[in-house]
Chain A
Amino acid sequence: MKISLGPIHYYWSKENVEQFYRSVEHWPVDIVYLGETVCAKRRALRNADWLDIAARLAGAGKSVVISTLALLEANSDLLQLEKICANAHYMVEANDMSAVHLLAGRSPFVVGPHINCYNSETLSLLAGLGATRWVPPVELPATTIAMLQNTRPEAMETEVFAYGHLPLSFSARCFTARADNVGKDECEQRCIGDPEGRALFTQEHERLFTINGIQLQSGIPCNLFNEMVPMSAMGIDIVRISPQFTATELVVRAFHAVLNGDYTSPEKGMPAVFCNGYWYGEAGMKCLSAEDD
């Protein structure tokens, strides 16, 4: 299996993004997804900046994919999408059906986790339009993914969201602005102050969700580190690691070590509290193991 680094879900400064990807050049990841997928108002990096990063990563031997916005609203969002889909150098990860429409029949593309692909018929339809890789929706259980593996179209790669805060929902409303009691139009991109999102707790102090602008994520990270053997047996091609502001390199190296048969320090870099319930067909927030079956 290969390792991919998903798009950064949070809003980081240009310097932080550039510094992060300069490090990534030296990490054992095969595929890197770039670009803004959450909020069109986050414009610290322009297209040219992303393309500079892409060129450096490609030069370092990484396969680069540009990811598109999951929720498009304004016409300016569509114009930006058209630019991305028309780029001549990099494959595109489509995260909504506008992107699929623009890419269909023109160039091979990746079906992102925000496209609702739940069955073989939809997967084969997308393959017919040019999809060569797909990331199942995060809520799909291993049993369903396994069934889809049995009927997946030829040359279709499967990439599983294996590590990070799960992107669970999108809204027109900005929950970061709401938490600070200001309107979205007055947000001043305040989410740049939350490089790992903002924790949302129940009244019993249980960390339930993570606020990331218009997106809500899981409160704790999903971690399928212990599922790599069954994943490999199912023919999963790629495991996706979703970048966090800190410790992402440790996670990448831990996955890489195990994929290369090195089990000497498997816990290094892994969080003590995590969830994997979706994989077992249970509530996503649960943490289970194969012995629980």
Chain B
Amino acid sequence: MNDHKPELICPAGGLPALKAAVDNGADAVYVGFRDDTNARNFPGLNFGPDDTARGIEYAHRAGKKILLALNTYPQVHNWSVWTTAVDRAVELGIDAVIMADPGLLRYAASHHPGLRLHLSVQASATTYKALEFYHQRFGIRRAVLPRVLSLQQLWHTIANSPVEIEVFGYGSLCVMVEGRCALSSYITGRSPNASGVCSPAESVRWEETALGRESRLNGVLIDRHGLNEAAGYPTLCKGRYCTGTQPYYAVEEPTSLNILDILPDLFRHGIAAVKVEGRQRSPAYVASVARVLREALDTCASDPERYLVRSQWTAVLDRLSEGQTHTLGAYHRPWH
């Protein structure tokens, strides 16, 4: 049994969420600057310089860390925005930066050798050989794995990895390999890699029609909901499409990942950290999820053999989930 307890990494899209995360048991909080240098570049979200400094002070006073996501891919015309962000992270005293772009990783490693680097899920590294690459070339210390590996594949990767492994534990589910998805830019012109957004809000339109409530993304019909159906945000991969006559969730249902069921296994195999998705979510969401996962991690650490998922944990998390249901995602073979 590995006696190391995984860190709990929580999201924050603003100072109130950051404080909620710290107050409710996060070991580290990840944030992004208010621009397209991170993969949650949404209007009204993220941190300006003053907020970041205040957030770091708040977390450090509580003995917690702040991680900065700089995990989109800079291009020629805006390269300096990303390098300036790396420099600013160092000045502000960020504990680690989470990055995906190889050129930017090289910049950070050569200009700021003391800066702790985490490999973002957006780098799409799914094997220990890929992790060796980023470790040998840039000295990354941790990697966040895409949500595609089954448990056996995950254990094999951890056993051979030169760096710590962080996995997603709860939140909305990307069904595609992160960093390898251009579906959003195909429809809207903006993608997670290049613009830090998927299915951007400015392209969304809702229409009440005789056939139902329609959600459109840049004019494309994503889904059509009846009167009694809950209609979620039209993320394009969670729409209903047709290969035959009946529309169905051809890519993925609205649901959230939840790994509470496999926590003892994750402990046993030496996972370094469990990450919560949702920088775009409210401080109340962050507080509730952090509290549940804190309790689950502590319970599992104290007696992994007798660990059982408590029904109230599941109830709280399901209420906050897309579609009010959860899945083990790729960790569970039948999901594939």
Contact = CB atoms under 8 A, between A and B. Distances in A.
A101 B336 contact: no
Contacts of B164: none
Contact of A144 (B75, B150, B156, B333): B75
Interface in A196-217: 198-206, 208-209, 211, 216
Given A173-B336, A183-B334, A98 B102 contact: no
A73 B126 contact: yes
A147 B78 CA distance: 12
B1 to A, nearest CB: 24
A261 B102 CA distance: 40
Given A183-B333, A211-B243, A171 B127 contact: no
Contacts of A74: 153
B134 interface: yes
Contacts of B335: 172-173
A137 interface: yes
Interface centre among A71, A101, A102 (most CB of B within 10 A): A101
Interface in B33-88: 73-77, 79
A98 B146 CA distance: 14
A72 interface: yes
Which label, helix, strand, loop or mixed, suits the secondary structure of the B interface? mixed
Given A116-B73, A173-B336, A97 B103 contact: no
Interface residues of B, number: 67
B235 interface: no
A147 B77 contact: yes
B282 interface: no
B187 A285 contact: yes
Given A98-B130, A170-B177, A139 B75 contact: no
Contact of B189 (A96, A218, A283): A283
A201 B188 CA distance: 17
B156 A75 contact: yes
Contacts of B201: none
B104 A173 contact: no
Contacts of B77: 144, 147
Contacts of B73: 116, 118-119
Contacts of A199: 243
B221 A211 contact: no
A149 to B, nearest CB: 10
Contacts of A170: 176-177, 180-181
A283 B185 contact: yes
Interface stretch (A25-33, A174-182, A266-274): A174-182
A114 B239 CA distance: 25
Nearest to B330: A172
A168 interface: yes
A73 B153 contact: yes
A101 B102 CA distance: 12
Interface centre among B137, B185, B194, B220 (most CB of A within 10 A): B185
Given A118-B101, A200-B250, A209-B183, A169 B176 contact: yes
Contacts of A291: none
Given A73-B126, A73-B153, A96-B124, A168 B333 contact: no
A98 B79 contact: no
A71 B181 contact: no
A169 B181 contact: yes
A203 B221 contact: yes
B292 interface: no
Contacts of A140: 75
20 contacts: A71-B148, A71-B177, A72-B127, A97-B133, A100-B133, A119-B79, A122-B103, A140-B75, A147-B75, A151-B76, A169-B176, A171-B148, A172-B148, A172-B149, A172-B335, A203-B247, A206-B220, A283-B185, A284-B186, A284-B187
Given A168-B181, A184-B333, 14 more contacts: A97-B134, A114-B180, A119-B103, A120-B79, A121-B102, A121-B106, A151-B76, A171-B177, A172-B177, A178-B250, A185-B336, A202-B239, A208-B220, A211-B250
